[in-house]
Structure 1
Amino acid sequence: MADSHSSTMKSANDATTTSSSGKESSANDDSTSPKRYIYTQVDMEHFKHSSAHKELLGFVSTMGKGLTSSNNTNSSSPHSYNAHDPLNDLSPALASLHGSLSCMSTWIDPNTTDGLPPDNEVKARFGNPVFRTWHQRLTERSGAIIKCLMECHGKYVNYNNMESSENAPNKDEILKECSQLGYQAASSSDDSSTTTSDHEISPKENEIINELRCYLHDAFGHPIRLDYGTGHECSFIVFLLSLCKIGCFNWTGAGGGANPTSPEVIGHASLSLLHAYLNITRGLQRDYMLEPAGSHGVWGLDDYHCVPFYLGACQMRAREQWQQQRQQTQKKKKLEAKESSGIGTDTDDDDDARRLPDNPYLPKSTTVTDPSDPPILDATHADNNDHWDPSIIHNRPILESYRGTYLYLSCIHFIQQIKPGVPFFESSPMLNDISHLGNWSKVMAGLLRLFEGEVLNKLPVVQHFVFGSIFKANWTPSRKGPLEAPKRTFIGGPGGVEVTGGMPVTRAPWAK
């Protein structure tokens, strides 16, 4: 086991030696603890031009590229996300994390033995104080969660060599085992309860564990302000980026240098983990009524999220590409049939006409006459009842049937759940406008620009970031201060405005 841990830590050490600019800030020399670097607009400008900004934006972009890669559409059996088998695209470390996230989603359930249901006696528009207990549980158990996923990675880092052994477990068994261990780690506050190794944790490993814990703590909202927003979502993306940099997205120790993790692996693993993450955050938003942090109100994309919409659009773009290729293939077959028979025919193959396509992005393909089949679109929306342009979000039967498979549809469905009775064009005018675009490629490109401009480049959002030895800041901050950003809510229009009092009324774009 020591050898496997050495291999794991080699990837971690490679990720923490120097920043991509080749230098380390003097502020990082004071302590190994992650710390804030963004206090003022001057720091913000440093961040915009930093390696950290480039890495984070590049990582999100790579997620999307992995989902839209030609490898996903040119193959008869592509590497695709399967909602019914969420561990399929994961490494042992990420399977452990998935298990932990699955356990965390039960913490709010009153029907579980240690559930923390909201206090219904609290009369407040936003923020149920029970969330503070929920978050305290996260801080108590995060050490076990991180140690477990690192142990799972270390245990199977040499799996390629083990695979040839007669008694080697298969990958499905390993992923299930790691998922169960991750679930157990999140079920107990005792760090040693899920430890499967007698390996002594080194100071460098402790440093990495503490850094990863900081990102995980920040990913689920603020326990004092009782809010959640795109900054917290970004912390989860930083957490995933950090795991990727230390090699945890792979079965081997690869992940950087000459053996970078492929976009396909990053994209599909992130998609699976985001589904598990959203199961938690949506429960927190709905049951604990967390205040939207930094929301633009009705004039923004969404009260809480941005990245899931982008990745969801990428997933829909991949489906769009698959459909285009399918149509081209069918057209080619028809022409070949005409040439070989010597007579013209416009008749489709009966099976093609009766069946939904064997689409890699659908969990199952069955005949449309099957009463258990999802409803299909009418001809006004599609060619061959299968082309889904962005206006598909207005088709409620499709949302209900495919929200578990398509992340974008899942996001739209959740908005309609928490804002019932409100016309969509009133509750979400930006998303409604997006639905009128001609194809998913435009949606995908626009949402990535939105993420950069309205999330990564906004001081009220990123001032909460902390930086360590994996996710690094390569500048000296304008001042030293507490790890926490000010304990108040930041709400405003584009660019953000610090608000020290109550929540201001959302102003329309034309308001003076």
Structure 2
Amino acid sequence: MTRQLAGLREIPLADVPNLSLPTLKIQTDDDVEIWRRSRSYQDYAIFLRRLNESVVGRDIPTTASSTSDAIERIMVLLDSLDAWIDEIPPQVSPQRYGNLAFRTWGKRLDVESDTLLGRLLPSAYVAVIPHLKPYLLTSFGSFGRMDYGTGHETSFALFLLCLTLTRFLRPVPEEERSVVLVVFPRYLRLCWRLQDVYKLEPAGSHGVWGLDDSSFLGYIFGSGQLRDQTQIPVSAVLRPPLPDNNLYFLSIMRIHQVKHGPFHEHSSQLHSIATGVPNWGKVNSGLFKMYEAEVLGKRVVVQHVPLGGLLQWDAAPTATEGPPVLHTPSVVGTPGATRAPWASSAPPQASASPTVASWYSGSTHSPSVSQSRTGTWTTGPAGRLSSNSSMGPPAL
């Protein structure tokens, strides 16, 4: 079922020279609340919802497909950054984490970012470059701490949001789908390679209580792809290998590459989702809530995100309402945010070790390991999973 979401505003190129440049504005928990009431947060909420909606029922293309010139240019940019890894090999070092060559890679990005963005954008966008540069520079990790986490991933998403606000990327389903299914997998693979080659540490890992040490949006978009799927139960992810046609599956297989041991021990949150959430629609809505609280609501994560300029720091027009929430889409023709049946009245409060049940309305317990279903899953036509078991999705 397709939901018609609110449109994304446009910032005319003629207005860009009059905007202030983005800077680090979030320093306290109070600043986080200011941001949650800002126009930029509202824009980001609409943007993510539109991206999610565009890929429902869609697979990652297995062959090169026709895309827009803007998408092709972004792919060329990411390919160029990937090629730098071959040109800047890791240094011989006894350090387990954080190879110093990553700082060399980051310095090259800083030096060449204006040139890269100049190649990406048409000449009419020259005033946009200083607004995009801070997001590009923070999209691939911290060159000082030599780590990578969900804040850097969010910075790349905001980079794409800025390109859409200025209409380099068009907010239409076809292009939004390419952003998720073409650009985002390429970005993830680049970041995974940076992490592997330069031994980057996870930024602010929650250990077994975190969804993933480094990434989050892949799980949201991947569960969005499967949102209306009834043939593949959520528990299917417990039986790898998984096909590479879905971002949730790709993210799970990445975990199997970098972590060893029982999945329920090193990835307890993902295991609990697989054994305790009844369908992909619930997974998708719950992950939006979790992302809002555990990533966008954490000062230690978003304090590194520059704001201002294209991503306005001032209050959104509906200032009398509460802050916009990512898990409550704004429907065209409806003032404000219309709450869907699966949305709770307020985003869950983050805690040191929240259970998965916290993110899913109607859940009264944390799923146990014994709830895991059995059955063998194989890859069928178009990379789809098929089952030899007649068992349905696990009950919550």
Q: TM-score range by the shorter chain?
A: 0.7 to 0.9
- Please give the alpha-carbon distance, in whole angstroms, between the structure 1 residues aligned to 2:93 and 2:45: 39
In 1, Cα distance between equivalents of 2:213 and 2:313: 28
For the 8 Å contact 1:219–1:232, the answer to whether it is kept is yes
- The one-letter amino acid paired with 1:40 is T
Distance in 2 between the 1:11 and 1:446 partners? 31
Give the Cα–Cα distance (whole angstroms) in 1 for the partners of residues 295 and 237 of structure 2: 24
C-alpha distance in 2, partners of 1:14/1:48? Answer: 27
The correspondence for 1:394, drawn from 223, 238, 253, is 238
Q: Which one-letter code corresponds to 1:82 in the other structure?
A: P
Partner residue, 2:279: 439
Q: Is the 8 A contact 2:140 2:191 kept in 1?
A: yes
Q: How does 1:170-319 map to 2 (within 5 A)?
A: 205-250=125-170, 261-318=171-228
Q: Within 1, Cα distance between the matches of 2:14 and 2:283?
A: 36
**1:53 Cα deviation (Å)?**
1.3
**What CA distance in whole angstroms lies between the structure 2 residues aligned with 1:50 and 1:15?**
19
> How far apart are 1:439 and its partner, in Å?
1.2
Q: Distance in 1 between matches of 2:351 and 2:145?
A: 20
Query: Does the Cα contact within 8 Å between 2:233 and 2:279 map onto a contact in 1?
Result: yes
| Distance (whole Å) between structure 1 residues aligned to residue 45 and residue 31 of structure 2 | 18
CA contact (8 A) 2:141 2:147 kept: yes
Q: Would you say 1:99 and 2:9 are equivalent positions?
A: no
1:424 to 242, 255, 263: 263
Q: Equivalents in 1 of 2:233, 2:257: separation in Å?
A: 22
Computing the radius of gyration over CA atoms, which structure comes out larger, 1 or 2?
1
Structure 1 SS opposite 2:93: coil
Comparing 210-219 with 55-64, greater Cα deviation is found at 55-64
CA distance in 2, matches of 1:396, 1:472: 43
Q: Which residue of 1 aligns with 2:23?
A: 35
- Is contact 1:310–1:444 with CA below 8 Å preserved after alignment? yes
The residue aligned with 1:183 is: none
For 1:317-332, list aligned pairs within 5 A.
317-318=227-228, 320=229
For 1:288 and 1:415, the matched residues in 2 are separated by 18
- Among 246, 250, 275, the residue aligned to 1:410: 250
Are the equivalent residues in 2 in contact too, given 1:218–1:232 (CA < 8 A)? yes
* Equivalent of 1:48 in 36, 60, 70: 36
1:82 aligns with 61
Distance 1:80 1:409 in 2: 11
- The CA RMSD over aligned residues, in Å, is 2.5
How many residue pairs align between the two structures?
A: 310
The gaps in structure 2 that reach 5 residues or longer are: 1-9, 316-349, 353-365, 367-396
Counterpart CA distance in 2 for 1:92 and 1:100 is 12
SS in 1 for 2:227: helix
Once residues 217 and 240 of structure 2 are traced to their aligned partners in structure 1, the CA distance between those partners, rounded to angstroms, is 23
User: Which residue type is aligned with residue 78 of structure 2?
Assistant: L
| Offset, 1:106 | 2.6
Q: Which letter maps to 1:108?
A: I
Distance 1:445 1:64 in 2: 11
The TM-score normalised by the length of structure 1 is 0.57
Instruction: Determine if contact 2:118/2:126 at 8 Å carries over to the other structure.
Output: no
User: 2:233 is aligned with what amino acid?
Assistant: D
Kept after mapping to 2: 8 A contact 1:15/1:246: no
**Residue 262 of structure 1: how far off its partner (Å):** 2.5
Which residue identity does 2:280 align to in structure 1? W
> Aligned pair in 2 of structure 1 residues 11, 35: CA closer, same or farther (>3 Å)?
closer
2:46 maps to 58
Structure 1 unaligned regions, length at least 5: 1-9, 19-27, 73-78, 110-114, 152-198, 251-260, 325-386, 476-493, 497-508
Partner of 1:116: 88
Does the Cα contact within 8 Å between 1:230 and 1:305 map onto a contact in 2? yes
